[in-house]
Amino acid sequence: MDILKSLGNQHPAEKHYRALMKHCKVHLEEMDRTLPAPAEDFSTMLKERGISRRSFLKWTSMMTAALMLPPMFKPLVAQAAEQFNRLPVVWLHFAECTGCSEALLRSSYPNVDDILLDTISLEYHETLMAAAGYQAEACLEKALHDFPGQFVCVIEGAIPLAMDGKYLTLGPKGKTGLELAKEVTSKAALNICIGSCSAFGNVPAADPNPTGCVGVGKALGISTVNIAGCPPNPTNFVGTVLHYLMFGGLPAVDGLGRPIWAYGKRIHDYCERRPHYDAAEFVEEWGDAGQKKGWCLYKVGCKGPYTFANCSRVRFNDAISWPIMAGHGCMGCTEPAFWDTMKPLEKPIHEDTIGGGEKTVDTIGAALVGATVAGIAIHAGLTSSVHRDDK
Ligand code: SF4
Ligand code: SF4
């Protein structure tokens, strides 16, 4: 209240952002006081890895916009980036392929996201750490002891519940994934599910799911922030951690725990092939003339109309490209149970599953010549009903 009083007669939006900035500055100062000292100076780190000040400022602008913050927040995003490698992280692996770690921690050439991920303060990461067995167990115990309520727990992979969780045991004491997840998440400041397996179960939970895999939130009955994707975009993980450093809490999330700034819009609505969809210009089969002309991939299986993610805006590999730009349809990997609900992956979803998808597109194709707007309205209605069913 005091902050708001001191702001006088500003426009409500400006007043809101000024108050938010004050809160952010206070939180960043607190983090600066309480986080462990950096292992490496941030500016030296950027310099050594060939990132100029100009590139860093460009990245700051991009990240501020991606987080849906006005430009006045750019210096604070930069300040939060400087604290990134001071935040202790415990990274757990359950039922998964380690593809999320691979996608996040490897890069052919680094941008700022990659450098932040490369230098993240990993106190425990089963795939990357040199320690094994009792030594690794000791690293985990030390991290939980040294940073109680301060570390971020990142979870990769689903949790098997069948046979009391015994399909997955870890470490020298043979703890089940469920036991380990309960122990670590209860002591963390923030629990982030990285990838669609930990968020929703997904591939390890695919039908018939003999191991009884589920997502972490469901297995433990806790709220997690879900950076969905198979694998997820590094920007969405980095942005969520920056948000935590800046504001001390989770970003606004949708009904599936996904940050709205990253997953609030459909792939289809920001796809560069969308004008072809609207003009009923579809690739009918791989290698046809439509494919060569870059037409819409719906009829060869694109699930962009049912998928909420920012791939088309943020892209991958330093924003060079993304799947649809590279010529393949979206597989809907940020949606729950995509492996089952989005199949067949190279054809439109059968009308029994979604209530008329394939037929709708054909109908739209024919009808669009004279009734573009009506066709889009039918399709939009279809998409929202698919989403309600997913939940
Ligand atoms: S169906 Fe796929 S390729 Fe076509 S416009 Fe939508 S997202 Fe793009
Ligand atoms: S385009 Fe679709 S399948 Fe590809 S990463 Fe994005 S959401 Fe996943």
Higher pLDDT, 126 or 145: 145
Q: What was the pLDDT predicted at 85?
A: 86
- pLDDT value of position 198: 98
Q: Is the CB of 267 under 6 A from ligand 1?
A: yes
User: Of the residues 333, 342, 345, which should be mutated to test ligand 2's pocket, given the most ligand atoms within 8 Å of the CB?
Assistant: 333
Instruction: Report whether residue 349 contacts ligand 1, using a CB cutoff of 6 Å.
Output: no
Q: What is the mean pLDDT of residues 267-281?
A: 95
319 confidence band (pLDDT: 50, 70, 90): confident
pLDDT tens digits for range 364-376: 444 433 333 333 3
132 confidence band (pLDDT: 50, 70, 90): confident
Q: What mean pLDDT value characterizes the chain? A: 85
Nearest residue (by CA) to ligand 1, atom 6, is: 268
Q: Which two tokens stand for residue 221?
A: 């009955």
Write down the pLDDT at residue 384: 34
Q: Ligand 1 within 6 A of 297 CB? A: yes
Residue-wise pLDDT tens digits, 149-166: 999 999 999 999 999 999
Which residue, among 183, 83, 171, 95, has the nearest Cα to 129 in the 3D structure? Answer: 171
Atom of ligand 1 nearest to the CA of 276: 5
pLDDT for the residue 207: 96
Cis peptide bond prior to 231, omega within 30° of 0: yes
Of 21-25, 30-34, 85-89, 220-224, which gets the smallest average pLDDT?
Answer: 85-89
Nearest to 155 by CA among 205, 191, 121, 106: 191
C-alpha neighbours within 13 Å on the C-beta side of residue 275: 3
Among 43-52, 207-216, 272-281, whose mean pLDDT is lowest?
Answer: 43-52
Most confident of 99-103, 212-216, 343-347: 212-216
Whether 111 and 318 have beta carbons less than 8 Å apart is answered as yes
Q: Which residues contact 346 (CB under 8 A, 6 or more apart)?
A: 300, 301, 329
Q: What is the mean pLDDT of residues 193-202?
A: 97
H helices within 186-233, ranges in order?
196-200, 216-220
How many angstroms separate the alpha carbon of residue 370 from the centre of ligand 1? 21
Selection from 160, 234, 244, 165 nearest residue 195 by Cα: 234
Ligand nearest to the CA of 234: 2
Measured from the alpha carbon of residue 271, the closest ligand is: 1
Q: Please calculate the CA angle 255-303-156 and round it to the nearest 5 degrees.
A: 55
Closest CA to 318 of 115, 67, 110, 77: 110
Give me the mean pLDDT over the 37-56 stretch. 85
Q: Is the CB of residue 273 below 6 angstroms from any atom belonging to ligand 1?
A: yes
Q: Looking at this protein, which amino acid is placed at residue 360?
A: T
Q: Quick one: which atom of ligand 2 is closest to the CA of 322?
A: 1
The CA dihedral of 162, 164, 170, 172, to the nearest 10 degrees, is: -150
> What separation in Å is there between the alpha carbon of 375 and the centre of ligand 1?
15
Ranges assigned E (strand) in 205-349: 213-214, 225-227
